[in-house]
Chains A and B, each alone.
Chain A
Amino acid sequence: MSWPLGLEGTGGLVVGLLAGVAFGFVLERGGLGDPKKLTGLFYLEDFTMLKVMFAAIAVTAAGIGALSLLGVLDLSHIAVQPTYLWPQAVGGLVLGVGFALGGC
């Protein structure tokens, strides 16, 4: 079996539903259903968002790196977001403002 599986059709949608359920469950249990915990990061009062996000990024990045080194995972079939530096920087700026406005 070669990884990633790259599931399509119904199998992919079932994985999507289950991944979504896990995503929503973990975010809620981690406290990120609370808007005060989201915006708390901007005011340097609550670092939950930062801790959850960077722990997740570290686990996934380490996992993908290790599986690729072991020859289990083919990195060329992993989708990497294309780089549009200015749009992504400006999008980040505007999104930050929107989060602070909407989450108070």
Chain B
Amino acid sequence: MNGTRPYWSPYVAGVALGVTLLATYLLMGFGLGASGAFAQVAARLEGAVAPGRAQANPYLVGYLEAGRLWAQWIVVEMVGVLIGAVLGAWTAGRFAWRLEKGPRIGVGRRLAFAFVGGATVGFASRVAQGCTSGVALSGGAVLAPGAWAFLGCSWPAGSSPRGS
């Protein structure tokens, strides 16, 4: 595409992300997250579709009793992430409606893999109490031991599927 800005140096992006994360810690007392927003939405979906089941689940009740969805910090933050990502792509001349996929995989298979991969990541983020953002990034920056165990395990595990 003509007029597309190149990506920033990863170190520039990393420093900018670090400043954002530091500012969040200073203003809020906690860091950035992502998967928690999906859990907030999922708990309310189950609460709407199967209220009895949701109320009987102590894990989901915690979310249901947190109050309105739009008053949850992580939900508002994730809406911001979507806006920021679109802004970044748009102002760089990169915004387009397309499916990112490798050359050898079909659209159906790509979407199926994305769905299974997404569900796997979602499940894993509940087991670990967070994902790449909330545990690895934010936890890593405050030297939480569990964050480093999470980081150390996710990298080799991600490398294994290609071998099979």
Binding site for B on A (CB under 8 A): 3-7, 12-13, 15-36, 39, 41-44, 47-48, 51-61, 63-64, 67, 73, 77-85, 87-104
Contact = CB atoms under 8 A, between A and B. Distances in A.
Contact of A95 (B14, B81, B85, B132): B132
Given A23-B84, A28-B88, A88 B120 contact: no
B146 A84 contact: yes
Contacts of A97: 120, 157-158, 160-161
A19 B88 contact: no
14 contacts: A6-B29, A20-B76, A25-B85, A52-B14, A60-B21, A61-B141, A79-B29, A81-B135, A84-B128, A88-B146, A89-B150, A91-B127, A99-B158, A101-B120
Given A42-B155, A42-B159, A102-B113, A95 B128 contact: yes
B102 A104 contact: yes
Contacts of A13: 71, 73, 76
Contacts of B17: 23, 26-27, 30, 52, 55-56, 59
A39 B128 contact: no
Interface residues of B, number: 98
B13 A26 contact: yes
Contacts of A96: 153-160
Nearest to A94: B124
Interface of B: 7-8, 10-32, 71, 73-74, 76-89, 92, 94, 100-102, 105, 110, 113-147, 149-162
Contacts of A19: 20, 23-24, 27-28, 32, 77, 80
Contacts of B145: 83, 85
A25 B131 contact: no
A101 B158 CA distance: 8
A17 to B, nearest CB: 4
A28 B16 CA distance: 12
